[in-house]
Chains A and B, each alone.
Chain A
């Protein structure tokens, strides 16, 4: 072969093919254009949100002064916080058990733990609604003062969050060097001391990543909350849903933008923590 291939022209250098780049650009444009439009129009002065008339922060102050919107956001944050706390503990326990022990029907147990992940959300939502109403828990929680009246939603959120936490924490534990645990026990540490001073510090990035995942899942959930919330309790997604059904308004854009920022920050943080640590220099 006399003709030299220039870099990027080899038969397998698909990455530098023009048509692929154009296709890439197009698909990413389709993915992001609606979201970017939404964020941009949260700064728009035009009330109907159709033409760009100028930059303003009015929509944000309006959303901030909208008491029901803020109440819904507060509810969502409180629910997400409590659900994350419980889901992280339960998820870590599952992960530790599956990582450490051999036991009969382990495969079946893993499938059982994955059920809330695979089952259609709407089925889980209606099942929990039925359960809460029939067991009297709905009436019990609805009658409670805030924030205890959010109890049923927190329970529902924990149920679908903690299996996800378990997956994340378990994938972190896989890399653990068991000899550290043995060494600790050889040197006279008890089960509990080994757990706190060897295993927990090692699990920490996984725990944080799992917790952030649970937080975003809970904050974002609409379907299950829609079914399990009492008639008076409103979370942020449920509130946005009722507003969206009435039409498009820049106030929703502002509120949505805030939620987007919260979840994206949490997600990027979680991914950073999950990534394998880069080898340090020196």
Chain B
């Protein structure tokens, strides 16, 4: 690798356009959002203005985010995301494990099958779920044959959690697959040879050794779940509102941009917190990485 000083002309030709683009159309917009989160709607002649703002008035918007109404929604977003992440882990682990132990020629196909839904538009996949879960949908039809139902399966917490698991599972499979694939299988053999049962081997050898993958997967799923807007909007309706829906409402229907900006930043801090945690765990486990 060259030192950048050896060839400044090439360095700047390569680096300047993308850096300027990212500054202009990403960092500066975030700066606008940051300033807006500390601002307030201007009051002109005793009337609250729709388009004018008083900038940098204080942290009132952040304090408002901790009112009980919003605190409930933030808390709900967290537990829905946590539950969805846990379910993702429970379904993705056997898949990743199975792919690792599948015959070599099947592996690429199986991996492709897991990843492919991820490439299909999020909106379309959510719509497909609506068609299956609605009152006259397939699940209720099958249940009807057995003699139960029909149930209202949409527009509640269950629908949102199922939708999130359905949409984000591939994010969990890939890091798990990567670590299980690298796991030295002779550890498992040793454990089994020494008399441990399959279950004990799994809990005491496989799971601890694949912990880096589990943590990566959990964080990779938890972050988009927490920030999701489309899934709760379409599957949860008015009954399962998450923080993303509140942000959307501030910027569209409620037209309270400063408050929406504050909520967006809270969401971003949560995201960065999760990423920092991942980095911390990764750097600590460096020595014993499998």
Contact = CB atoms under 8 A, between A and B. Distances in A.
Interface in B259-277: 260-261, 264-265, 267-268, 271, 275
A126 B247 CA distance: 9
A97 B102 CA distance: 40
Of the listed residues A41, A100, A240, the one surrounded by the most CB atoms of chain B closer than 10 A to its CB is: A100
A207 interface: no
Given A103-B4, A120-B226, A12 B188 contact: yes
A55 interface: no
Interface residues of A, number: 82
Contacts of B18: 90-91, 93-94, 97, 113, 162, 166
Nearest to B6: A101
B17 A93 contact: yes
B185 interface: yes
B247 A267 contact: no
A128 B30 CA distance: 8
Contacts of B264: 120, 122-123, 126-127
Interface string B6-17: 010011001101
Contacts of B285: none
A247 to B, nearest CB: 9
Contacts of A187: none
Interface stretch (B19-27, B42-50, B56-64, B66-74): B19-27
A248 B124 CA distance: 12
B170 to A, nearest CB: 9
Nearest to B224: A120
Interface of A: 11-15, 20-21, 23-24, 27-28, 30-35, 37-38, 41, 48-50, 89-91, 93-94, 96-97, 100-103, 112-113, 115-116, 118-124, 126-131, 134, 155-156, 158-159, 162-163, 166, 191, 216, 219-220, 222-223, 227, 237, 240-241, 244-245, 248, 252-253, 256, 259-260, 263-264, 267-268, 271
B189 A244 contact: no
A260 B124 CA distance: 8
B168 to A, nearest CB: 12
A222 B128 contact: no
B166 A131 contact: no
A14 B101 contact: yes
B8 to A, nearest CB: 10
A268 B25 CA distance: 30
A124 B11 contact: no
B145 interface: no
29 contacts: A12-B185, A14-B101, A15-B98, A20-B94, A24-B94, A31-B113, A31-B166, A34-B125, A34-B129, A35-B117, A37-B132, A90-B18, A97-B11, A100-B14, A101-B3, A101-B7, A118-B271, A118-B275, A119-B268, A120-B268, A123-B265, A124-B29, A131-B25, A131-B32, A223-B230, A241-B230, A248-B127, A259-B121, A271-B112
